[in-house]
Amino acid sequence: MIRKFLALLLASLLGVILYTGMSSQTSAKTPFVQDNISKLWESHQSDRPIASPLVSQQPSVSVTEQTVVYGTLHKKPITGYLARPSQPQENLPGLIVIHEWWGLNDNIKMMTRRLAGEGYTALAVDFYGGEVADNPTMASQLVSEAQKNPQLLQNNIRQAYQYLETNQNAPKIGSIGWCFGGTWSLNTALLFPEQLDAAVIYYGGGIETNPNLLKTLQMPILGIFGELDQNPPVAKVREFEKTLQSLDKSVEIYIYENANHAFANPSGTRYNAEAAEDAWKKTTAFLEKHLK
């Protein structure tokens, strides 16, 4: 009887040890960086996503557009905005397009079409479940709610990547995002440190300078920033660049004089046409080089 009891006790202890080990492995979190919401607010508190004729900029070639379901979260479909060249082409490289703190609005859809016109299958993801902000207060609420559970955002991005890879047969995949989306373009790189083929970051305030996080990244990175921006400030951008260079990573950083946060957003109040156009040329050249 005693031997039987000891055997059962030993088996129970072994089970607990094995379960604990498995739990610690399965609960390990992928590294990610967060935007500072107060700094986002400071950057945008007097801003508005005002519609302008520039939001009607046309892609260089005709594109098709559609709303697609690219995944599920909590058994609910995740819908995004997909654009690709109208002329049938197989195996186009894919782009995960990540919106600003305003949400998946007309400006992001326009940028998605322009990117598609350069020869990509571009998928604009949605972190807000279809909601779009038209003022800083609402945007702050939406981004705060989204950042409460970063694992959901990570799962959103994972499914976007899988959709482009499997449903669209993209041989190479890159990410691009602006503002809050710029931070999540870096997070996409951290999620897929070996698989992602290129990452473009437009003034992402949550850029990371910890070499232990950045050392895993294998893709080339393009960073676009404004000299007058405080989210992130120039010193932080230079530290980010220096860290990547010290790790022998492929990185291109451009800081535009007299350009502020969100300078590339034609629907914003701080649009800088000259800087935005040059940044667009650098972006398309970078993507052409690394995704085609």
pLDDT tens sequence across 158-172: 999 999 999 999 999
CA distance 14 to 115: 55
**Which band of pLDDT confidence, cut at 50, 70 and 90, is reported for residue 7?**
very low
Could you report the per-residue pLDDT of 125-159, keeping only the tens digit for each? 999 999 999 999 999 999 999 999 999 999 999 99
Q: Which amino acid is at 65?
A: E
> pLDDT tens-digit profile of 249-267?
999 999 999 999 999 998 8
Residue 247: pLDDT over 60: yes
pLDDT at 5 over 60: no
- Please check the confidence at residue 2 and state whether its pLDDT lies above 60: no
Q: At what angle do helices 136-147 and 37-44 cross, to 10 degrees?
A: 160
pLDDT value, residue 35? 80
Bridge partners for 69 per DSSP: 79
In our burial notation (b when 16+ CB lie closer than 10 A, e otherwise), range 189-216 reads bbbbbeebbbbbbbbbbbbbbeeebbee
Q: Which residue has the higher pLDDT, 101 or 31?
A: 101
Predicted local confidence at residue 29, as pLDDT: 64
pTM for this model (two decimals): 0.89
- 78-96: per-residue pLDDT in tens? 999 999 999 988 899 999 9
Q: What confidence tens digit (pLDDT) does each residue in 191-204 have?
A: 999 999 999 999 99
